Amino acid sequence: MEDKVFKYAILISMALHMVLFVKLYLSKDLDLLSQKEQEMVYKQRPAEESPQVFAHKEAPPPPPPAPAAEITAEVPLAPDAKPSETTPFKPGNGLSEQFTMFEHKPDKIKGLKVTREVEVPMLKSEKINTPSYVTYYQIVRERIRDRAYVNYTKLSMGEVYLTFIIKSDGTLGELQILENRSVSTEFLKNVGIKSVQESAPFPPFPKDLDYPELTFNVQISFQYREGE
């Protein structure tokens, strides 16, 4: 009898332990499940708020532009002009139509007028003095004088004495300055040489001058005068 009671007590005790164990196991699973659900809830992104729809309101029209103000400018008067009312102008009309520009012109400076003079006088030849030679020599002198006048660009006074050779066909031969007969600056000497060189070639000799070449001497005189 006592053995049966003991056995029933052991079975009841085991049954109670089993119930408690199951209860504890289920309670622990429920806690874990609740914790996971909370973590899942925390990990989810918050729901986006639905955009608010605002009623479209038309912008008020811009205020009308203010009328352009008239600008009044005073036009400078000439020394002998009478004062007048100021001349208004509006933007965009152009200054040339609204203003009269007065340009101040400087007083005219009275300068001296310079007159250049170039002369190539006739020099007598001791060897030849025929009419053909005189005529040909005059042509030579006029050509040299014309070129000397063009090259005479600086105000300097003096005389340059040159001797040169012209061949029968009119080509220029030897050319040199006679320093002992010249009274001039280096500028005038250069003008003299350049003028003779630019005058060549000269016309061929006439038939009366039956020479292979001839020597000519010229004296170029440079002068200038100042006047009103």
Give the H or E element holding residue 45.
none
108 located within any domain: no
Q: Where is pLDDT greater, at 34 or 199?
A: 199
Do the beta carbons of residue 123 and residue 218 sit within 8 Å? yes
Q: Give me the pLDDT at residue 31, please.
A: 59
Predicted model pTM? 0.51
Q: Which residues contact 140 (CB under 8 A, 6 or more apart)?
A: 166, 199, 202, 216, 218
By C-alpha distance, which of 147, 140, 157, 155 is closest to 191?
A: 147
93 located within any domain: no
Do the beta carbons of residue 201 and residue 143 sit within 8 Å? no
Same domain flag for 117 and 220: yes
State pLDDT tens for residues 125-165: 777 888 999 999 999 999 999 999 999 999 899 999 999 99
Q: What is the DSSP letter of 208?
A: T
Question: Dihedral angle at the C-alpha atoms of 94, 98, 101, 102, nearest 10 degrees?
Answer: 180
Neighbours of 171 (CB within 10 A): 13
Please tell me the total count of domains within the chain.
2
Domain housing 28: 1-36
Task: Residue 138: give its domain's CATH number.
Answer: 3.30.1150
What are 50's two structure tokens? Answer: 């639905």
41 located within any domain: no
